[in-house]
A = this chain, B = another copy of it.
Amino acid sequence: MHRMDAADDSSGPLYQRIAARIEAAIASGAMRAGARLPSVRQLSQQHEVSMSTALQVYRCLENRGVVEARPKSGYFVTPRAPSLPEPMLDLRMEAPSLVNMDQVLQEFLWIVNDPLAVPSFHAQPARELLPEAKLQHLLAGVNRRHPEYASRCQMEGSAALRQEIARRAVASGVPLRPDEIVITNGGLEAVYLALRTVASAGDTIVLESPTYFHLLQVIESLGMRALEIPTHPRDGISLEALEFATREPGSVKACVLLPNFPNPMGSLMPVERKRALVQLARERGITLIESDIYGELHFGEQRPPVLKSFDAEADIILCSAFTKTVAPGYRIGWVAPGRHFLKTQALKFRTSVACPMLTQEVLAQFIRDGGYDHHLRKLRAALKTQMHQMVDSVARHFPMGCRMSLPQGGMMLWIELPKHVDSREVFALARLEHIGVGPGAAFSTTRRFDHFIRLQYGEPFTAATEAAMKRLGHIVERLAKRGPSLGDARPQHEPRLIDA
């Protein structure tokens, strides 16, 4: 930033005048969205004002939403509101159906470990954002002290880890006891056990739409039916649609929901809607299975509460894991099944018996020593920055007619393309150029997301990412210009648009 003169003809207090100039510089494009601003000390020197005046400048700009403070990083130009609008909410509903994913999607699921892909296909933070060295150090110590972990494990999981999980649960609004928790082989086994606890083959399970493809596959493998409920890219599942879909008693057995930053949308259900959802499920006699696997990855100040914090009847089954936040390779998750505890615990014993102790103890120690909280603060800041960089890049490179979510947490971006663009084709072309694209069709049993794609921003945004977005934008543009092909047999949705 070039030096600005403190003398100015505008009226008002000094700090307001300085703030106005900075705002003008941002509006003119002289300062890019997401750029780092001078420190308070630098600002006071540049403008020859006191530190407290400089601080007032930033407070003023912060209040106006022009800059934002990031803990331990300083001040940044607030990323511009996405130049692409949000995807629209399609409130039409389709009947519950058995899941049946086709070949292209199966292929997508098996190539997610293309090591050359930028961005990668993985819905995981990049290795450099994970505390590998710290965990390695802790693991060496646990291994030294506990050779017996090779020979023995505890059925119910590490007491130390369950203790730490219970302590952390307070922040998400739930008073959990360690003995209410079952440790699982990752977050998926947690949801899998929860589903088997309360539902059987043939039962209908409500899901957000779009939802995580892996969840659809689990439902498929259990012979259950998926009923997808329209979900807003900002506020989460539509309560109105859910109310409508569940009006017939007994028609729905359970809901599997991610109210906090689900894959692929990164939406966040407001507290009042969470409360109303729990109330509705209770009235309808539907068990909620809540996955909070992204709950710690919030971009706002506060860690959002879980649905279970509004659950007086202990009927909600809360699932989570450490696979998205700290140690994907450890494959450690957990489930707090509330009043279903004994059944879930018995199913765990009948599925995979128990989990290895060594890595559970490492995590317990990492959490207890404060390493986890420290890591989470850094990870959240990095993901937020990367989100803004990715959003900005997509906005610059994608053609008109695209829309995009503005994630409130997590590490996924959900992009709506012009309606006649087939995301499978985008996926296939991008794959050839090692660009990790999730085809929208993988996130629903319906065809309504065939023109959506998912990107992830779990890795630092580099020149390679920028170049990839540029090439991806070209691919989309080329397909968009081609127009709907004559032979296109896909059903053309004409959503009834509702500004929810």
Contact = CB atoms under 8 A, between A and B. Distances in A.
B188 A353 contact: yes
Given A143-B140, A328-B153, A349 B135 contact: no
A139 B346 CA distance: 31
Contacts of A392: none
Interface in A380-400: none
A347 interface: yes
Interface in A69-127: 109-110, 113, 124, 127
A54 interface: no
A150 B217 contact: no
A127 B152 CA distance: 8
Interface residues of A, number: 57
A133 interface: yes
Interface stretch (A170-178, A354-362, A446-454): A354-362
Nearest to A110: B155
Task: Summarize A's interface: helix, strand, loop or mixed.
Answer: helix
Interface of A: 109-110, 113, 124, 127, 130-133, 135-136, 139-140, 143-144, 147-155, 184-186, 188-189, 192, 196, 200-201, 214, 217-218, 220-221, 223, 327-331, 346-347, 349-359
Given A136-B144, A186-B352, A221-B346, 11 more contacts: A127-B148, A131-B150, A132-B151, A135-B147, A140-B144, A188-B351, A192-B352, A214-B350, A220-B350, A221-B347, A329-B357
28 contacts: A109-B349, A113-B154, A113-B155, A127-B148, A130-B150, A133-B147, A136-B147, A140-B143, A143-B143, A150-B329, A151-B327, A153-B328, A153-B329, A185-B352, A186-B354, A188-B351, A189-B352, A192-B350, A192-B352, A217-B350, A218-B350, A220-B350, A221-B350, A331-B353, A331-B354, A331-B356, A351-B351, A358-B359
